Amino acid sequence: MDDTIVVDASVVLSWCFEDQATPSTDAVLALLEHSRAVVPSIWPLEVGNVLLVAERKQRLTLADSKRFLALVADLPITVVPDTTDSMLGEILELARQQHLSTYDASYLSLALRNGLPLATQDRALLEAAQRLGVELVGTTARSEG
């Protein structure tokens, strides 16, 4: 999987919300011009939920969400399915060990299993990745997760 990174929802969603964009997240987007990204199976639901909440709070319109989803659909992002055994086994255990949500642990697990660098803005996930020696792409982290 040369030139492949794991990118979490915090990075992808920064491309939708200007106040969450950073030079690091912009660099990850630019990187996808010649690389590809993989994401765990939870990713579409995470992205969809954030868009839905933003629509409900009138931070985005339905048209904004559709435009963003069209942008994302054109990016080289592949959803890697997880088995139920993996989700309730390895990922749950990784979440326990690293004090992460299972959602965040799914990104870390994908990076660890495949020896891939990780792009995240989530502080807890960033710190866990550093503890486990996962290479990072961009290091801007926000305290919320």
For residue 14, how many other CB atoms are within 10 A of its CB?
22
The DSSP bridge pattern shows strands 36-40 and 4-7 to be parallel
Segment 55-86, tens digit of pLDDT: 999 999 999 999 999 999 999 999 999 888 87
In a domain, 142, yes or no: no
The total of structural domains in the chain comes to 1
| Listed range (67-76, 96-105, 114-123, 130-139) with the worst mean pLDDT | 130-139
Total-model pTM = 0.89
In a domain, 92, yes or no: yes
In a domain, 138, yes or no: no
Q: Please state, in angstroms and rounded to a whole number, the distance separating the CA atoms of residues 54 and 47.
A: 11
Q: Which domain holds residue 33?
A: 4-131
Q: What pLDDT is attached to residue 1?
A: 46
**Contact yes or no for 28/119 (Cβ under 8 A):** yes
Mean pLDDT calculated for residue range 89-112: 96
